[in-house]
Amino acid sequence: MKRLLAAIPLLLALAVSGCAGTVKEPVEPGTGTGTGTGTGTASPAPPAAPDPIQERLKSMSLDEKLGQLVIAGVNGTKLDPETRSLIEKDRVGGFILYKPNIESVEQTVSFLNELKQANRNSRIPLLLSVDQEGGKVSRLPPPLAALPSSRDIARAGKPERARSIGEAIGEELRAFGFNVNYAPVLDVDSNPNNPVIASRSFGPSAAIVSSYGIELMKGLQHQKVIPVVKHFPGHGDTSVDSHLDLPVVDKTADQLRKLELVPFADAVRAKADSVMIAHILLPDLDPGVPSSMSSKIITGLLREELGFDGVVMTDDMTMGAITKHYNLGQAAVQSFNAGSDILLVAHEYKNARLVLDALKQAVVSGVIAAERIDRSVSRILTLKQRYELSDEAAGPVDVDKINAAIRQAVGK
């Protein structure tokens, strides 16, 4: 009941006037229930009820649509004028919080509630996101219980425990007011020199990563937290940290299909909601640009070959893999045209504004088609509706209850 009540603002915003009737099946001539014409011809079926998502799209301005395509970073530990402007003026679709934005339980809940309150005049709730993988990538503050790394979860040898841990993580995130988690990591730990994945991976085989990663994904979904599986098409065999520079992976498409792509293909079949695209150069697939800017990889490989029609999100566009080699605005436009739905611009207000301006200019100049924008915004609105998101205030957080759930899930 609480989730239903929380979803009311979004459902009302997306609903169209009038009550949607049931569409009747057409009746074959001579068999029907016509109204006394004597011909036996059926009455015409009533028109189908309008799609509320499409009706919502028709009422949105271009700026509102473009805002939905961006998840931005925030400054400090409370709402500031720049973040308020991104909400009230630019209508951004959501935010990501990092460790510097999170000081304490009370402060984090208050900050998220401030973001929601600033969005009160919008008809579309915010995506409020964080990296809460477990292990060394855990953002929530003490005194919350520590979460095991993906590697340690798999070493326990119980995939069902991964689902329980996913549920526990989902419970703690919802208590704070987060509704998106950039997890699970579906990268296969195949390179011992990898500087960025290591224990963040469930293991060195595709089978291990699939079995544990998908269970954790399902646990998050069960708690109504959107999981974003990452980092497609696979960050496990890199020797460069994409935060610093652009990794190059010299593998063929067939090699990827036998290892790196397996967990992502399994996740798509298991109804993954969102996939994060890595900043990796794969010369055999597309020698020109990183995967996050490649139509061959996002549209050709992920959408067409693997059949994924959910929300595609980039890794942070302000990482060195992009900014050392490309103009940020141009890279964002190319990534969107390649098939991304959401551009993650995780650091600095000026970068979020630059990306929004670049997108708008690309629309005005005809580089981005209006129909392409509507496709992505439709996916985003559908995802927000599916998870019954709202900007209802969260808290207070029952830390003891959450810690008990975490300890029970990890078997301690």
Residue 306 CA from chain centroid, whole number: 18
Place of tokens 């020199």: 193
Place of tokens 């792509």: 261
Q: How far apart are CA 363 and CA 355, in angstroms?
A: 12
Surface-to-core class of residue 387, CB atoms within 10 Å of its CB (0-12 exposed, 13-18 middle, 19+ buried): buried
Residue 157: count of CB within 10 angstroms of its CB: 9
111: amino acid identity, one letter: F
- Residue 240 backbone dihedrals phi, psi, to 5 degrees: -125, 140
CA dihedral over 6, 7, 12, 18, signed as positive or negative:
negative
**299 DSSP assignment:** I
Helix or strand (DSSP H, E) at 251:
none
Listed residue (215, 208, 223) closest to 167, CA to CA:
223
CA dihedral over 55, 61, 65, 68, signed as positive or negative:
negative
CA dihedral over 375, 9, 223, 178, signed as positive or negative:
positive
Residues involved in catalysis: 243, 315
Helix/strand/coil for 170 = helix
184: amino acid identity, one letter: P
* Cα atoms found within 13 Å of the Cα of residue 299, Cβ hemisphere only: 14
Beta bridge partners of 95: 72, 128
Surface-to-core class of residue 396, CB atoms within 10 Å of its CB (0-12 exposed, 13-18 middle, 19+ buried): exposed
Listed residue (127, 82, 73, 77) closest to 101, CA to CA:
77
- Residue 316 backbone dihedrals phi, psi, to 5 degrees: -55, 120
Per the CB < 8 A criterion, the answer to whether 106 and 131 are in contact is: no
**347 DSSP assignment:** S
Q: How far apart are CA 52 and CA 58, in angstroms?
A: 10
